[in-house]
Amino acid sequence: MVTTVAIEEQNMLHNLEEEERVKGILSVLDHCFSLATKINEIVSRMTEKRVTLEEKMIRTYFHQLAANLVSCAASIHQSLANAYGDGTTRHEQKTQAIVALASELLNLSNALEELLAASEVIVDDLLKILRYDLNFLEQYYEYGLYTKLTNECDFVSQSQELLQRINQQAKT
């Protein structure tokens, strides 16, 4: 026979809203790490070619972008770890606080997902060229790419702003 207390305890231990939000957050974090891996490949492949000024700037740009993206993911994980690992027993108030936090983090994760999707287009194009022909990259693509990255896309600034928002949320 299931008692009211047992049902309440079960609800405190498993909340569908919490599960849905946390899974959404983790899906974005998976994408984030996948893109960081692609950026690692870009940097690695660029070391295989003759060094140019543009190549140095592009490499630095992607190092910073990867650092910002991984920092965003780390801050989100830390916020979740702090919420779950405060050493208190799970009760309804704590569950609701976690659901509220997960909701805020999901909103920030959605902003991160938009940034990931936009930057992945550039990353995939660059990887295609790096895998195909390093000479083409150097002669026809590097200069325009760096100009596009810094003047049109500016993913580094966007990722820094998002990291600040995530870190600000973690302080509250």
For the chain, which residues make up each domain, given as ranges?
4-171
**Residue of 82, 85, 65, 97 lying closest to 170 (CA atoms):** 82
Given a cut of 50, whether residue 6 has pLDDT beyond it is: no
**Residue of 16, 170, 26 lying closest to 99 (CA atoms):** 16
Q: Specify burial of residue 167 (Cβ count, 10 A radius: 0-12, 13-18, 19+).
A: middle
Top mean-pLDDT range of 36-40, 100-104, 126-130: 36-40
Angle at 66 between CA 18 and CA 110, to 5 degrees: 30
Which pLDDT band holds residue 159 (cuts at 50, 70, 90)?
very high
Residue given tokens 């820094």 in the structure block: 160
Q: What is the arithmetic mean of pLDDT over 11-38?
A: 87
Q: How far is C-alpha 106 from the chain's CA centre?
A: 12
Q: Write down the pLDDT at residue 116.
A: 97
pLDDT digits (tens, 9 = 90+) for 42-71: 999 988 877 888 889 999 999 999 999 999
Q: Write down the pLDDT at residue 103.
A: 87
Three-state DSSP at 131 gives helix
Give kind and range of the element (H or E) at residue 12: helix 4-13
CATH number of 4-171: 1.20.1410
Given a cut of 60, whether residue 1 has pLDDT beyond it is: no
Q: Write down the pLDDT at residue 65.
A: 98
**Residue of 117, 121, 24 lying closest to 76 (CA atoms):** 24
Mind giving me the DSSP string for 137-160?
A: IIIIIHHHHHHIIIIII-HHHHHH
What's the mean per-residue pLDDT of the chain? 86
Structure tokens at 119: 């930057």
pLDDT digits (tens, 9 = 90+) for 83-97: 887 666 667 777 777
